[in-house]
Amino acid sequence: MIELVLGGARSGKSRYAEQQAIHCGLPVLYLATAEAGDAEMRARIAHHQQRRPSEWQTLEEPVELAAAIQTHANPERCLLIDCLTLWLSNVLFDRHGSIQEQQFATRRAALLAALRDCRGRVIMVSNEVGMGVVAADTMTRRFVDEAGFLHQDLARICGRVVLVTAGLPQRLK
């Protein structure tokens, strides 16, 4: 089964996803998409690392997520992907903040295809960013739009979709 766990910043979505992975009873491979670009992000990554069970394997894959899913997904393993919105940022924008249209479209399509073909247990974590005001700048509006479109496409593929708010999971699908 493939599951999408959505929520805002500090909503408890990662903790919920980690508990789902523990309870599925399979060995877990944690696919981390974050890159430690500054001290605050390094602290966030460290917090997540400390919380994970020691027997979990971790693979850092900030861009080639589809290939990682194709390589590592199988019925005897749970893939926990955290976080899709960081991945989206990594593939949508280059290091200078310019949009990478063709690379983004290719990687997005590859991710959706890999998930449609996947036969293993996959839990994906992503930030729900579309519940606030419309952003003032073009780049942020594009990011929010793409996150929303990606979540809609993922929700169609997933067997379960959960929204976590204040640490409380609400099953949407």
What stretch of H or E contains 169? strand 168-171
Confidence band (pLDDT; 50, 70, 90) for 23? very high
What stretch of H or E contains 170? strand 168-171
- Check pLDDT > 80 for residue 27: yes
Annotate 6-25 with three-state secondary structure. EECCCCCHHHHHHHHHHHCC
- Whether residue 155 contacts residue 36, with contact meaning beta carbons closer than 8 Å, is answered with no
Nearest to 29 by CA among 76, 89, 85: 76
Sketch out the chain's domains with CATH numbers. 2-171 (3.40.50.300)
Q: What is the pLDDT of residues 129-166, one digit of tens each?
A: 988 788 888 889 999 999 999 999 999 999 999 999 99
What stretch of H or E contains 123? strand 121-127
pTM over 0.85: yes
Q: Does the annotation count 96 as an active-site position?
A: no
Which position among 48, 72, 96, 151 bears the catalytic label? 48
Average pLDDT score, the chain: 92
User: Could you tell me what percent of the chain has a pLDDT over 90?
Assistant: 75
Confidence band (pLDDT; 50, 70, 90) for 96? confident
Sorted by sequence, the CB contacts under 8 Å of residue 75 that are 6+ apart come out as 119, 120, 121
pLDDT at 136: 83
Produce one character per residue of 15-28: b if its CB has 16 or more CB atoms within 10 Å, e if not: bbbbebbeebebeb
